[in-house]
Every structure is written in structure tokens, then in C-alpha cells.
Chain A
């Protein structure tokens, strides 16, 4: 025993010494900080995974909702937390790319974090009201070409994914549309239903009952693959929009400098949890799709997303505050 301990101590010293040894990880509860409020998709994802990962790692995993400042409060907390793998963030393009690009924050969205894994995806769907008479992308584009303010689109805030998706759409179709921002998805869906706003690239789950009742029409899915819940709706890619990958993805990030072996344990645990059918099923009930990529896949996604989002932010004319 003593010998092994001495050996591993020596190895650790030789390797430049991580303070916590990976064999011991995790030796205390892990906290997942969720930048979104209780009850939303991120809450479901974090709580479902907390339970799954806790069973695998044998330590409690707690979820803490730290809302505010468009995710910057949660992201700052994790960026400044000790890099030991015990504090994790529910990450997305807002935390890592959009918010640091638009607000003055005390962290760097890429350099201050270590990607652990991507976990889930909520498809964003281009939706229009049935009463608008628009039933295809071509009709929508034709209407938008009539004049610069013929079509309005809903978003959930300045610089939000629905806003940037519409910016993308406007570039590709060479149109100009009126941006109507809302505080969250619920009022946006209400106005879309009431016919007060023409279209929106919005999260699919709150729209589903209205697609089923026929009041809203889904024109395209902003994901690389069709959604299992909307098998008949083509992807934007199929409709001729190359690289239109604008769905809401969720990942898990740790503070920068988290030891590689700790990250490996976490990546593996999230992968195993997501492979369980009961977890996928619970997420699917709410229209959340499992989207697992390991830490390298996640890092590649971040790099790709960062280029695209920054370009869109610029073309939408958004400036840092």
C-alpha cells in the first residue's frame, strides 16, 4: 500500500503534479450550475443527468440554478471556480460565444473553460401561422422580398439564437425583415399564434401542440438531422440552406485547467448516462434529443460555432455593450 502511494506520488510529481489524484475523483459532491431557471429544458437536462451521473460516479450531483445576466452570472461563477472538476456548467452557445461577444463580462468564453461533453439538443424550427397563408419557404421568401418590412420575426432577445438564425436566413435569402424581440419563448409563441408576428426560429417543444392542432406550420428544422418528433419537416439544409445548424445545443463545461484525467472520468460518466435508454426517453418526452460528443468533439463544435456566431452577430449589426 505504502509503496503504491509513494509510487503514485512520485509519478504525480514527475508529471508536474495535479493536486487531486484522478483515482480519488470524485471524493465529494459535484455541483452543476445551470444558468437557466427551474422548469425549462436546461433544468430537465441538468436534473436528469445529475441523477444518472451520480449513479455512475457514486457521489451526489447537485444542480444549482444561477440565473441572470443572460447566463453570464452562472458562466462567471464556473470560470472562477477551482479547476478540480467539482463545479460544472450547463453550457451552450450563449455562455461560451454569444454573451461574451455582446456584453462586457469577466471571463473569456473559450479560454476560461475546459469542454467535457455535449449532451443534448433542442431543435429550433422555422414556424409560421396558418392564417398567414404561407405554407412553404418559397412563399415566405417571396413575401419578404416584397419590401424590407413585409415580414416580421420573433426572437427571445437581442443576440439570441432565434435572432441570429433569422439573421442567417436574411443573408441567405437576401431579404430584410423586422426583428421583434420578446422576453422568453412564451410571449413569442402567443404572438405567433395570434398572428401578430409572422415567423420565428423557435424551440420546438412549446410549438409542438400548435403544430399538432394545425394552428402553426413548421417550414424547416434548423438541425443537421430531421427531428424525431417532426419526421415530415425537412431540415433547412435539405431546403437549400447550407450549414444552417442553428439548434440549441447543451454541453457540460468545467473551468480551464481541470486535469485531463478528471475530465476523462467526467466525459465518460456523461457518455454512459446518456447511453441509458430511460434517460434518453425522459428527455425525449419533452422534445429534447440526446446529442453526445466527447470533449474533443465538443471543442471542435465550439470552434465551429464560434466562427459562425461571431459572423452572424456582425452581420446582424450587433455591437458589444
Chain B
């Protein structure tokens, strides 16, 4: 019953007026920066940090965290409506969310995104309350061998993520892996494909690629006249935004699957929300009875990744709070912010500072509830954004994309990169080459290389490490089964086609 006292303690802190007010401020800022393409939570959180010096530490953290998960809600909006993702994870939501808009189901897509985000976030918070110390210890058993195997599994599972030609998908994934090689090699410091540009030594910016291939490319395509049908916003009523009972029934399982995928991957300090979101989408497509619907407005393709990215941003706090080990740049920033406020996350943090820990966790849930209440009535207004004439909307979007990519490293070079990738994406669209596998390859390639090399350094060059470590071995077995199954189905198909001419 200890946990109930703790939760009560947390509630007491989180519903005090100052905590509620700054939670609201945080999630509102978060939603807003999430909607703006390319302007990420990191930029917003860095801008707000100095302001929080004057707040109580718990309240300061509640607000900064609110910006972080609030951005995940906002990120899906422009993604669904305009195919211009607000955050990198929302690029996955665009795959089916935008086709839904083109079919006139924008309201339903947004509603699904919101409700999935809420359920995903809420379940992840419960998992966090129950299992934080345990999960943290478990996460420590993941090292490079395990990460490599998870990512290999992700790459194989997601190889069919895009609709259409499988060959083109593979080609794009390989291109992504290759582009991911740009930059200095971690182990030797060798510069690869940097052409003596100092801006390329850290590789190409992820935000530039994602916003270029998805956002700028979409805007360029619309210039060519291939723009979506204008939606008669007069017809949109609340009723048309709420999914039917049948649709609700269809999304419950995807939401749950997405939540667990997201929560699991998010709790590991070495993978992050983008991998979780892609994995959730790939799993949905694998388990679907008719995978060909994906990419053409399948509602599950919105529900699962949205649940996953929100679940993963919540559980990402687990290693940060209980081990002091941040999983990505944003979490590193949150950790820095906590330290500035004199809070030292680590193994003893939960026991020594229960009010801060439980107050923060409970505030996450309150924040998620606020986001739901804030966003549902706004869906109608967001949908009306589609009625803004494109010659006004798209230049504004380009402007925000440019600011967004610039705000990551303060490099003008990144703006050229986003434009260049916009043109690349435009031609890829025209000739039917999907962008999602390229993005996935770009994200996973460098990580896989890093973990593969490190695993072999740990084992002093012995490949046994991949099957001697139990968790890695389990993933390896799944990978082997998946490959064996695809090989088996190819052989069977060929046999059939060989038999046919004889018959």
C-alpha cells in the first residue's frame, strides 16, 4: 500500500495551484512548438530554462516536462493535415494520417491521434509508477549487443513499412544507411564523406532530412498542382470528428500494442522515440489482415505510432530519473535542468525526494489530461487551417521549417540541407520512391554501426557476444525466424511459379 501513499503525496503536490498553472503553460507551449514544423521541444525547453530559475524546482520540472510531451501531441497535427510533420516522430503518423485527410477524414484522424496519445501516455505513466526502479535495473542489462539486435530487428521488421514496390523501399533504406555514414567515425575519428565541410563532421542533421523529405517535398509537390482537394470546412461538425463505434473498436488493439512497444523501447536509454514509433507502425502492418491498406489511410497506422511515441516519451524519464542516464539530447537537457535546480537524479532519488518524483509523475498524467481537453475542442479549428489559401500557408510553413532546422545547431548550412533534401524528396515522390525507409535507414544505420563495433570491442572481437548474452540471443532468434519465414515464403512462391508452366 506504500505506493498509494506515494501517489497521494504526488497528487497533493501536482494539484496545487502553482503546479497546475505551470503544467498548463508547459503543455500549451509544447503543443504550439509541436505544431510548428521543425521547431522542436529542445529549442523551446532551452528557451524556457532560464525563466524556471525563479520557480520552485518541482514546478520548474513539471513545466519543462510538459513542453516535452506536449510537443508530441502537437507534432501530429500538421503531419495529418498537411503532410508536414511537426516533429520527427510525427513523420510516421503522416504515412496514414495524411491520406485520411485527403479522403476527408481529417477530423477522425486528429481525434484518433489525440486519444491514442492520451491512452499511450497514461498507460506508460502507470507502468512508470509501478515499475520504475525495476525497469531501470533491467535497462542496465541492455548494452551494445542488445541494442544492435533490437535495431536489426527494427530494420528487418520495418523493411516493408512503405506501400508499393519492395525493391524501391529497399533501395531507399540502403540510401538512408549510406547517408547516415556521413560524418566523423566514432572509433577512429576518420572523416567520412564530409568534403572538408566543417558542418558535416557531425553528420547530416536528422531534423534537416526529416523536414526536407517530408515537409519541403510536400510543399514543392503542391506547386506542381498536385494538391489535395480543398475541403469544405463548412461541413465539419463535431459529429464528423468522432470515430464510429466500429472505428473505435478497430483502434483499441493497435493503441495497446503501440503503447507497449513505445513504453518498452522508450525505457531503454539507447534507442529513443523515433525508433519506437517506426517499430510500432511496422508491427501494426505485420499483424494486419490486409497490409495493403497501410499508407492509404489505415486508421491503425495513426493510432499505433501516436500511442507509441507518447508512451516512449513518458518512459524515457525512467532511466533519466532513476539512474541519471539520459537517453537522448532532450533528456540530457532535462537532466541538466534538474541538476541546475539542485535535484540529483540517481538510484536514491525516488527514496530521498519522493515529493518531487511522485509530483512529477502525477503531473505527467494531469498534463496528458489537459492536452486531451485542450486539443479535442481545437480539432475543428485545426481542420479549418486547411481552408487557409495555400499561397499563404505554405510560405509560412517554409519559414517555420527554416527557423526550426536552424534552431537545432544554429547553422545556416542546415537550411541549405533541408532545401536540398526537399528537392530530393520531391523527385522521390514523383517517381514513387518512399521517404520513410530512407529516414529509418538514416536513423538506424549509424546507431547499428556504433553498437556493432562497440559490442565487438567488448568481446575483444568474438562474435559469440551476440548469442552468449541472453537478451541479445532472444532478439537474434526472432531475427532468424523472421528471415527464415521470408525466405520460406519466397521459395514457396518460386516453386509455385515454376510449377505453373509445367502444369
Contacts and interface: CB of A to CB of B under 8 A. Distances in A.
A40 B332 contact: yes
Interface stretch (B188-196, B225-233, B294-302): B188-196
B333 A37 contact: yes
B186 A190 contact: no
Nearest to A214: B347
B349 A187 contact: no
A142 B126 CA distance: 48
B143 A39 contact: no
B346 A212 contact: yes
Contacts of A208: 344, 346
B202 A69 contact: yes
A193 B140 contact: yes
Contact of B345 (A68, A159, A184, A209): A209
Interface string A165-191: 000000000000011111110110111
B336 interface: yes
A158 interface: yes
Interface stretch (B245-253, B255-263, B280-288, B318-326): B318-326
A59 interface: no
Given A38-B336, A39-B333, A178-B460, A72 B325 contact: no
B342 interface: yes
B450 interface: yes
A152 B186 contact: no
B141 interface: yes
Interface in A196-213: 196-197, 205-206, 208-210, 212-213
Interface residues of A, number: 55
Given A40-B336, A196-B458, A321-B184, A158 B189 contact: yes
Contact of A73 (B190, B199, B346): B199
A149 B462 CA distance: 13
A141 interface: no
Interface of A: 37-40, 43-44, 47, 64-70, 72-73, 76, 102-106, 149, 152, 157-159, 178-184, 186-187, 189-191, 193-194, 196-197, 205-206, 208-210, 212-213, 215, 285-286, 318, 321
Interface of B: 42, 46, 49-50, 140-144, 184, 186-191, 196, 198-199, 201-202, 269-270, 319, 323-327, 329, 332-337, 339-340, 342, 344-349, 409-411, 450, 454, 457-458, 460
Given A187-B269, A193-B140, 19 more contacts: A38-B42, A38-B49, A38-B336, A39-B46, A66-B409, A68-B199, A70-B201, A72-B198, A73-B198, A179-B457, A180-B457, A186-B325, A186-B326, A186-B327, A209-B344, A210-B347, A285-B340, A321-B189, A321-B191
